[in-house]
Structure 1
Amino acid sequence: MLRIFVFKRRTLYIALTVLLLLVIGIVAAVALSGSDETFSETIKYAHKKISAEQAKVLMEKNPDLVVFDVRDEKEYLQGHLPQATLISQKELKKKLTSFDQEKIYMIYAKNDKTSAKAAEILSNNGFSKVYVLNGGIDHWPYEIE
């Protein structure tokens, strides 16, 4: 019941040629990409959402933490997180070069959508330690200034 497949010499040469071309194509694609990054390295500049509890710990353990409030001035004056600096998204874009990319940044606003947009500005410009307060300031149960 064991069958032995017999290939004609021509069929064998065609199969080997196709296989060789496939291997050459893969090697060329890897060489031309010029990148030896793994998948995880290509997404290293993503921001992370954190809870109020995590944000409080982050603030306590990192005295150099930069906290950005991206709400409007009226809301900021009514109350903001300790250490928070008021900054608009437009201002954030303008001042990117003056910020230290090695520092840790936490961003919050009234809602997640606004915070995420500001965090993307930093993340897309090479800032690797960017956090967003999940739920915004409305979910901050601790003291505000």
Structure 2
Amino acid sequence: MSEFKHISVQEVADNASAYTIVDIRDPQSFANGHMSEAMHLSNQNLAEFIARAPKTQPVVVVCYHGISSQQAAQMIAGQGFAEVYSMDGGFEAWRSSQAVVTSAS
């Protein structure tokens, strides 16, 4: 079974376009602010993501603080993706050091 790895905020920031970034926080939190490259991933679109996302593209899973993303990353890694990462510190670590995009209400 594939295992996920950990990745730092800085590693993602340095080469964000190389990753498929999925944010698993709740929809309201995502709408209030997210990484510019991130897509929201929920139970509603998970099956479609697994079916359509390129398995060779590295995936970075982002949550609030880097805890629940580990379980999600493990599940995604088990779906045949070559490289899956949990971003250490989560979105809160990103917010404190990087640019954040907010959705218009």
TM-score (norm 1): 0.62
Identity percentage over the alignment? Answer: 21
Judging by fraction of residues, say which structure has more helix. 1
Judging by fraction of residues, say which structure has more strand. 2
Residue 57 of structure 1 aligns with which residue?
14
One-letter code aligned to 2:33? G
* Structure 2 unpaired stretches of 5+: none
Structure 2 counterpart SS, 1:144? coil
- Calculate the aligned-residue CA RMSD, in Å: 1.6
* Residue-pair matches, total: 98
1:46 aligns with 2:3: yes
User: Residue 50 of structure 1 contacts residue 133 of structure 1 at CA under 8 Å; is this kept in 2?
Assistant: yes
TM-score (norm 2): 0.83
Moved over 3 A (4+): none
Higher normalized contact order (CA 8 Å, seq sep 6+, divided by chain length): 2
User: Residue 22 of structure 2 contacts residue 62 of structure 2 at CA under 8 Å; is this kept in 1?
Assistant: yes
Cα deviation per residue 1:8-50 (whole Å; 9 max; x = unaligned)? xxxxxxxxxxxxxxxxxxxxxxxxxxxxxxxxxxx6x211111
* Structure 1 unpaired stretches of 5+: 1-42
